[in-house]
Amino acid sequence: MTRQQIIENIRKKQSFLCVGLDTDIKKIPSHLLQCDDPVFEFNKAIIDATAEYCIAYKPNIAFYESNGICGWQALEKTIKYIQQNYPDQLIIADAKRGDIGNTSAMYARTFFEHLNVDAVTVAPYMGEDSVSPFLGYAGKWVILLALTSNKGSKDFQLITNAEGTPLYKTVICKSSEWANDDELMYVVGATQGELFKEIRSEAPNHFLLVPGVGAQGGSLEEVCKYGMTEDCGLIVNSSRGIIYASQDTDFARVAAHKAQELQQQMAKLLPAGLKK
Amino acid sequence: MTRQQIIENIRKKQSFLCVGLDTDIKKIPSHLLQCDDPVFEFNKAIIDATAEYCIAYKPNIAFYESNGICGWQALEKTIKYIQQNYPDQLIIADAKRGDIGNTSAMYARTFFEHLNVDAVTVAPYMGEDSVSPFLGYAGKWVILLALTSNKGSKDFQLITNAEGTPLYKTVICKSSEWANDDELMYVVGATQGELFKEIRSEAPNHFLLVPGVGAQGGSLEEVCKYGMTEDCGLIVNSSRGIIYASQDTDFARVAAHKAQELQQQMAKLLPAGLKK
């Protein structure tokens, strides 16, 4: 999916919401456990209920991998279901992979060829040759970890070098030499508040994938205040706050309501050029 | 597997070799492609041929994931085969995972419960709460990326802070507050030569998993000169140099020969207290 298509979807939906499919078989409503593939049935219901309010889905690979082969089956079915029924949705594999070149090339093959998703999250620690094998796939995106939403983001990402530049800024600065903003995005946690200003000083035009609104406590208004560009430039994810809003038989209806609430807030926060 | 068991296996086998199972269906001998599960058949033959010369196997998860469900089946069968036939082998899932706490907990479930391997490689970029969910499993190991073998290791791992400390040393220093050397190892690339001295100044007793001998050009003698402790403290991996030494019908015999060559070099390099 091209940058222009993403922006057009944001305008059309009046939303920059990504729904995170962190589907844990231990947390889904018990009536679904009778199905052949409870995780897929849950995802299908969530997707059908929320698709009109969001522009992206983000399956979190850990939650599927933990069920081994059954988990991979549910993941593959979920991705195909979105591709066949909602082809304008951006599909992000939240995988945080990254390894030496020949191994990253295998991960790229997994996500961009075998699963054929639109984007994959990648960890930067191993440097350029661990990231570059994911680049150069037409219409595919690398979403590189920059400044994450969790407490541990302070441990290494904020360490400053002799010139006072924190690691997350160096990651953005160096990696923006490896690819343009038409195939590279960054992960920046919603919990980082004013630091979005710093991010925008290094990456004025890149799209940012922003987790951490909802269960993790980030503020949508603050993210938009400091992070929004004239192309929107934000894809804000909510996982637990939507998919587990109810754990009863009404889970899909409640998820739709939560997604709609966020979409309505987002519509008001869009830049003038994208408002309907 | 406990630290003491690893050391005892090193003494028994006179080896600190790990065989990397980076099994690419495009590189295995063509006669195996007629089997139901060529990747598993290849691994089985490699394992049977090399087990007497090594103390660990390291399946590289990327190579299995890239084949989707079939790949996961081959991975699970390979791990079970080692556990049932060679229970004294340390099994390392080379996965380089790491995410926010609830997601890392799912990855830990994948590797330590579902697959039940002994160790998993973890990326440090997201800090303590991304690593700690992997800790506290009895007899299981976290192998944290410190200073990797690839060219890109220079991009971020060598960045120095205001006090002149490079990032990889900060990673070792901070993470050694999270766990002891009985459940935490570090990845240090064989290509890093004299920097092993720096590593040993921060981590005098930790075991190091050392990739990069062979195809990547690292020197076994140099690694031992600067990195070996009185408990050995090294697990040196070779993947391509062993498993693809021949791509013909004699691949297992040639792999055994390559593993034995390394084992014989290792026997001479062991510390006095572990030599037979």
pLDDT value of position B180? 96
- Quote the pLDDT of residue A215: 73
Beta strand A56-59 with A90-97 is parallel
3-class secondary-structure state, position B28: coil
Low-confidence residues of chain A, pLDDT below 50?
Answer: none
Structure tokens at A97: 């992979």
Across B180-187, average pLDDT: 98
Q: How far apart are CA A174 and CA A159, in angstroms?
A: 16
Model confidence at B214: pLDDT above 90: no
**Mutation target vs B (from A22, A40, A58, A66; most B CBs, 10 A cutoff):** A66
CB contact under 8 A, B97 and A148: no
- A–B interface: beta-carbon pairs under 8 A: 189
Q: Which residues of A touch B60 (CB under 8 A)?
A: 99, 103, 106
Interface test with A, best of B63, B99, B131, B135 (most A CBs within 10 A): B99
pLDDT reported for residue A216: 79
Confidence of residue B217 (pLDDT cuts 50, 70, 90): confident
Cβ separation B114–A68 shorter than 8 A: yes
Q: Based on C-alpha coordinates, what's the Rg of chain A?
A: 18
The mean per-residue pLDDT over the stretch B204-222 comes to 91
Helix, strand, coil percentages (3-state) for chain B, rounded to 5, are: 50, 20, 35
The residues of B that are catalytic are: 96
Contacts with B16 (C-beta within 8 Å, 6 or more apart), sequence order: B10, B55, B232, B234, B235, B236, B266, B270
Choosing among A37, A67, A77, A99, which should be mutated to test the B contact, i.e. which has the most B CBs within 10 A?
A99
Q: For residues B89 and B1, give the distance between their C-alpha atoms in angstroms, rounded to a whole number.
A: 9
pLDDT, mean over chain B: 96
pLDDT in tens, B194-209: 899 999 999 999 999 9
The CA distance from B9 to B165, in Å, is: 35
CA B89/CA B87 separation, integer angstroms: 5
Q: For B232-257, what is each residue's pLDDT tens digit? A: 999 999 999 999 999 999 999 999 99
The catalytic residue positions of A are: 96
CA distances in angstroms from A116 to A83, A135, A184, B32, B69, listed in the order given: 9, 14, 17, 28, 15
* CB-based contact B146:B198 (threshold 8 Å): no
Segment B53-65 shows an average pLDDT of 98
Cα A47 off chain centre by: 15
Contact yes or no for A10/A255 (Cβ under 8 A):
no
| A161 closest CB neighbour out of B22, B63, B161 | B161
Token representation of residue B63: 């190579």
**Contact between B97 and A62 using a beta-carbon 8 Å cutoff:** yes
- Cα Rg of chain B, angstroms: 18
B127–A151 C-beta distance less than 8 A: yes
What pLDDT shows up at residue B129? Answer: 97
> What is the average per-residue pLDDT within B23-42?
96
Inspect the interface and report whether the beta carbons of A125 and B124 lie closer than 8 Å.
yes
Mean pLDDT of B18-30: 96
